[in-house]
Chains A and B, each alone.
Chain A
Amino acid sequence: MTDMVDAPLSDAPLDGGAPNILEMRGITKTFPGVKALQDVTIEVGRGQVHAICGENGAGKSTLMKVLSGVYPFGTYEGDIVFEDKIVEFKDIRDSEAEGIVIIHQELALSPYLSIAENIFLNNEQRGAMGLIDWNKTNSEAAKLLARVGLRENPTTKIMDIGVGKQQLVEIAKALSKRVKLLILDEPTAALNDEDSDHLLNLILHLKEQGITAIIISHKLNEIKKVADSVTVIRDGKTIETIKKSDVTEERIIKDMVGRDLEHRYPDHTPHIGDEILRVEDWTAHHPQDPSRVMVDNVNINVRRGEIVGIAGLMGAGRTEFAMSLFGRTYGSKISGRVYKSGVEIKTRTVSEAIANGLAYATEDRKTYGLNLIDDIKRNISMAALKKLEKLGLVNDGQEWTVANEYRKSMNIKSPTVLAKTGKLSGGNQQKVVLSKWIYSDPDVLILDEPTRGIDVGAKYEIYSIINKLAAEGKGVIVISSELPELLGICDRIYALSEGRITGELPIEEASPEALLKLMTMEKAR
């Protein structure tokens, strides 16, 4: 498996002990009716970075929950060997006491507390009489921040720093617990390229200090960058462990989906018609601070059957533009004109925007897209209840039929449309969101990060849906921070920087380099 396995004990690296810091042997975890993990075995070399890859729902998170004691000893079969002894964690405290720290995708920080307070949460630095020693807290926090390369005052509140920096605070917190094995669950999912790079370099830097890391990720390029070995899990089983030198994207994808993915993007032959949407001189200001221009004189257009991309770094104003356009759900002092098929329309409220044939699928489906405690059926009908209404009453049966049609046509993996959307995987949730908007009969769909947090197989399905929408003569605007995705599916790409459109490239002329140059173009000051 890994190159460390065959090494004799005497060759053990670094601080002695066995070459493997962790071995999980034959782990099987069963939920009622489902085997989530089946005889999974992984070996993690001491001082290595080990990546775990797999589609959503493959069992990666379950495996990490078994490891960190979220699923306590006794609820799974198999052995966990950490530092040469079999460990039996009863809860997450037990695993942390051994030096295993997990950083979840959804960060566990308190927004109103300072960086230092968060780092030492439940591990407070005490002074005389058991009271908190604030000088010690802040100075220790400053040392930890220096180790993770974060230049922020320890007393800054978490809510005042970006997601990328919050991720670093999480790592600093882990360091404060004398971590030996750091587990990162999709650490870069919410980060832009710059922050991702910083984070990956930090992981390599920590590795030099002897900290072992397990990184769960969808992003194949970053796995190639940091991982010494990769274990691929599919349907709750280990498929194989690949050494760094043997890692190729094709091999990992093949392992993950169980088939060759010749093309990561479905074929798309555009049939482009007349202009369907034109936005002129669109400007929007920050909602709390109207002196800040967030969207600056944006001019774009979309034609029937066309897939138009908007590329931009985080904070470039992509979502701000889309939301200010869609019923003024973002911003203040919004100005500009919108034309549909040459006729000026108003989009002052969401219902007006929907009535005029616009749809906006949010980048954050859990917070803004779905009612997670309600079922698939009612989520799909939410934006177009009018179509099912008669005398103020909703036709239940028809609604059920409609939802079921979408469940089948969109391949939403759920036995019934009465399942709660909160229990679906990211890909299936996204399909529900798309169903909801397609059912509202839009002419133009704005899809904000349509494949964020979705596995490779489901991404392909989403791209196919986007192609189908374009083939039906709708205009599609795709906002994405993944350049390969935009290059793979769009017919034309706008670049956005600091709220301004800095360029427009037809797909033939677009390249990552050209787009990045436009995306980082700064305002002349």
Chain B
Amino acid sequence: MSDLETKPADGVAAGSQVNPVENRFTERFSHILSDLGKNGIFIALILVVVLFSVLTNGILLRPQNISNLIVQNGYILVLAIGMVMVIIAGHIDLSVGSVAAFVGAVSGVFAVQWGLPWWLSIILSLLVGALVGVWQGFWIAFVGIPAFIVTLAGMLIFRGLALVVLGNANIGSFPTEYRALGNGFLSNVFGELELDPLTLGVAAIAIIALVVQQFRTRKGRASYGQAVEPIVWFVAKLVLIAVAIGFFAYALASYKGIPITLIVLAVLVLVYGIVMNRSVFGRHIYAIGGNLHAAELSGIKTRNVTFWLFVNMGFLAALAGLIFTARLNLAGPKAGDGFELEAISAAFIGGAAVQGGVGTIGGAIIGGLIIGVLNNGMSIMGIGIEWQQAVKGLVLLFAVAFDVYNKRRSGGR
């Protein structure tokens, strides 16, 4: 905290008191505390994982189950990425489940009924999703109808259209390449081995890239004179994350390798992480959610931003629909049922604010994983769907309540 200029009188005037840190210990300690606050959701995920590993006698952390966790929740995580962006901008999207079902059905028409090549079917389906987004974005951004209403209507419209496209029947037997989106693994590239070397190699590269990137960010901040966390805490955190990635990779490597769904997710998290953290578009989303009027008067084209946000959401809903359809190898009328609620829950558990302006992609992913572990753990334990629903509802409520309590304690709004 080299840039701290502590002026007591000014501190009072500004009303923003920074407690002068007395020594290295308290400095370090306060960092850990503030990090615990910030990473509360991460710790919650760890707790949930530990809890269910115990309750399921370790089945939760078996290689096959870890692989399943990703594949089973991939589509929710994809939706959560788009949803948290929409929520940060102060909107909501209730239609994503129906849009996923609609696009799944349409892709069935393309890939099965019309027999188009798998890649063309996927591209066309994603385009349909984006067009759905254009439709909803138009009403929300340019006509000014609240997103809640437009997407509630969309929920009905696209569920209905999905049924129309399906014509009271399921569409099944998709091409193998298409199905890989939900079921495929990248493995055995180097032959059949006990541990897939590709998976381990990718994990190693990921860990190295993460460490390098973190150290570069830290160095960059320090060179601009910004405060950085103590090196001990910084390294400890990196080691913890590296161990987690390593364990995860080991589990995947000893099962079937890297799920295609995971590759898709990794690319999305990387790209959208940069969009939200570094890009002008991301900044505009936070600005709109934080104060729409101020954003408008600062020259931000708020309508355009909102419009593209919903186009993007339509695109991601389509992708989620494809992954789900691929996984079941079936486009059916019940597909996507309740997806919107899981995605919205993921965003809120991950720390997004109902009023907008606050939230992160990482938070939404972790929120989605918490829901995934809950689903998966309770299923292994043989708990019925009725209790699963109730438990998930309570977790959502408590997560947000904890967040609100935390903010109030730290004097936030």
Tell me the complex Cα distance, A378–B298, Å: 12
Given contacts A385-B283, A393-B274, A415-B6, A368 and B13 within 8 Å (CB-CB): no
B408 within 8 A of A: no
Q: Is the CB of B357 within 8 A of A374?
A: yes
Q: Is the CB of A423 within 8 A of B297?
A: no
CB distance from B272 to the nearest CB of A (A): 13
Which of A395-450 touch B at CB < 8 Å? 396-397, 400-401, 404, 413-416, 419-420, 422-425, 428, 436, 440
Q: Is the CB of A413 within 8 A of B10?
A: yes
CB distance from A307 to the nearest CB of B (A): 22
Given contacts A350-B296, A371-B291, A400-B226, A34 and B278 within 8 Å (CB-CB): no
Q: Which residues of the other chain, B, contact A245 by a CB distance below 8 angstroms?
A: none
Count of CB-CB pairs between chains A and B under 8 Å: 149
Q: Is the CB of B299 within 8 A of A327?
A: yes
- Binary interface encoding of chain B residues 1-31 relative to chain A, with 1 for a CB under 8 A from any of its CBs, else 0: 0011111111111111111100000000000
Tell me the complex Cα distance, A377–B53, Å: 44
A235 within 8 A of B: yes
B224 within 8 A of A: yes
Tell me the complex Cα distance, A79–B20, Å: 30
- Indicate which residue in A58, A368, A394 contacts B279 across the interface (CB closer than 8 Å): A394
Q: Is the CB of A382 within 8 A of B279?
A: no
Q: Is the CB of B17 within 8 A of A31?
A: yes
Residue of B nearest to A428 (CB): B14
CB distance from B303 to the nearest CB of A (A): 10
- Indicate which residue in A236, A392, A400 contacts B224 across the interface (CB closer than 8 Å): A400
Given contacts A372-B291, A382-B287, A415-B4, A394 and B278 within 8 Å (CB-CB): yes
Q: Which residues of the other chain, A, contact B9 by a CB distance below 8 angstroms?
A: 235
Q: Which residues of the other chain, A, contact B296 by a CB distance below 8 angstroms?
A: 329, 350
- Indicate which residue in B11, B280, B299, B413 contacts A389 across the interface (CB closer than 8 Å): B280
Tell me the complex Cα distance, A15–B19, Å: 48
Tell me the complex Cα distance, A427–B360, Å: 31
B195 within 8 A of A: no
Which of A18-42 touch B at CB < 8 Å? 31-36
Tell me the complex Cα distance, A373–B295, Å: 13
Which of A489-509 touch B at CB < 8 Å? none
A282 within 8 A of B: no
A138 within 8 A of B: no
A519 within 8 A of B: no
Q: Is the CB of B18 within 8 A of A57?
A: no
A478 within 8 A of B: no
B205 within 8 A of A: no
Tell me the complex Cα distance, A372–B353, Å: 14
- Indicate which residue in B12, B220, B279, B357 contacts A34 across the interface (CB closer than 8 Å): B12
B174 within 8 A of A: no
Q: Is the CB of A32 within 8 A of B17?
A: yes
Tell me the complex Cα distance, A423–B407, Å: 14
Q: How large is the interface on A (under 10, 10 to 19, 20 to 34, 35 or more residues)?
A: 35 or more
Q: Is the CB of A422 within 8 A of B299?
A: no
CB distance from A416 to the nearest CB of B (A): 6
A55 within 8 A of B: yes
Q: Is the CB of A393 within 8 A of B279?
A: yes
Q: Is the CB of A57 within 8 A of B14?
A: yes
CB distance from B213 to the nearest CB of A (A): 13
Residue of A nearest to B275 (CB): A392
B227 within 8 A of A: yes
B301 within 8 A of A: yes
- Indicate which residue in A373, A401, A415 contacts B290 across the interface (CB closer than 8 Å): A373
Q: Is the CB of A57 within 8 A of B15?
A: yes
B239 within 8 A of A: no
Residue of B nearest to A355 (CB): B299
Q: Is the CB of A397 within 8 A of B12?
A: no
Given contacts A36-B12, A350-B297, A415-B3, A373 and B224 within 8 Å (CB-CB): no
Q: Is the CB of B3 within 8 A of A416?
A: yes
Given contacts A33-B11, A56-B13, A400-B226, A370 and B291 within 8 Å (CB-CB): yes
Which of A323-371 touch B at CB < 8 Å? 326-327, 329, 349-351, 353-354, 360, 362, 367-371
B300 within 8 A of A: yes
Q: Is the CB of A57 within 8 A of B294?
A: no
Tell me the complex Cα distance, A401–B15, Å: 24
Q: Which residues of the other chain, A, contact B15 by a CB distance below 8 angstroms?
A: 57, 423-425
B323 within 8 A of A: no
Q: Is the CB of B297 within 8 A of A360?
A: yes
Q: Which residues of the other chain, B, contact A370 by a CB distance below 8 angstroms?
A: 291, 294
Q: Which residues of the other chain, A, contact B17 by a CB distance below 8 angstroms?
A: 31-34
Residue of A nearest to B5 (CB): A415
B310 within 8 A of A: no
CB distance from A362 to the nearest CB of B (A): 6
A383 within 8 A of B: yes
Q: Is the CB of B224 within 8 A of A401?
A: yes
Given contacts A33-B20, A393-B274, A371 and B295 within 8 Å (CB-CB): yes
B334 within 8 A of A: no
Q: Is the CB of B298 within 8 A of A436?
A: yes
Q: Which residues of the other chain, B, contact A393 by a CB distance below 8 angstroms?
A: 274, 278-280
B281 within 8 A of A: yes
Tell me the complex Cα distance, A254–B287, Å: 41
Tell me the complex Cα distance, A413–B8, Å: 11
Q: Is the CB of B280 within 8 A of A414?
A: no
Q: Which residues of the other chain, B, contact A424 by a CB distance below 8 angstroms?
A: 14-16
B286 within 8 A of A: yes
Tell me the complex Cα distance, A382–B287, Å: 8
A59 within 8 A of B: yes
Q: Which residues of the other chain, B, contact A372 by a CB distance below 8 angstroms?
A: 290-291, 413
Tell me the complex Cα distance, A368–B290, Å: 11
Q: Is the CB of A382 within 8 A of B224?
A: no
- Binary interface encoding of chain B residues 211-239 relative to chain A, with 1 for a CB under 8 A from any of its CBs, else 0: 00000000011011111000000000000
- Of the listed residues B8, B223, B226, B295, the one surrounded by the most CB atoms of chain A closer than 10 A to its CB is B226
Given contacts A31-B17, A394-B278, A397-B224, A382 and B298 within 8 Å (CB-CB): yes
Q: Which residues of the other chain, A, contact B38 by a CB distance below 8 angstroms?
A: none
Q: Is the CB of B12 within 8 A of A423?
A: no
CB distance from B223 to the nearest CB of A (A): 8
A-B contact pairs, 11 of them (CB 8 A): A31-B17, A35-B12, A367-B291, A367-B294, A369-B294, A374-B286, A378-B287, A382-B287, A416-B18, A419-B14, A423-B411
Name 20 extra pairs, CB < 8 A, besides A329-B296, A392-B281: A33-B18, A34-B8, A34-B11, A58-B13, A350-B297, A371-B287, A371-B290, A374-B287, A374-B357, A394-B278, A397-B220, A397-B224, A401-B224, A413-B14, A414-B14, A415-B11, A415-B18, A416-B18, A420-B412, A425-B13
* Closest A-B pairs by Cβ, 6 of them: A371-B290, A33-B19, A57-B13, A383-B298, A351-B299, A34-B17
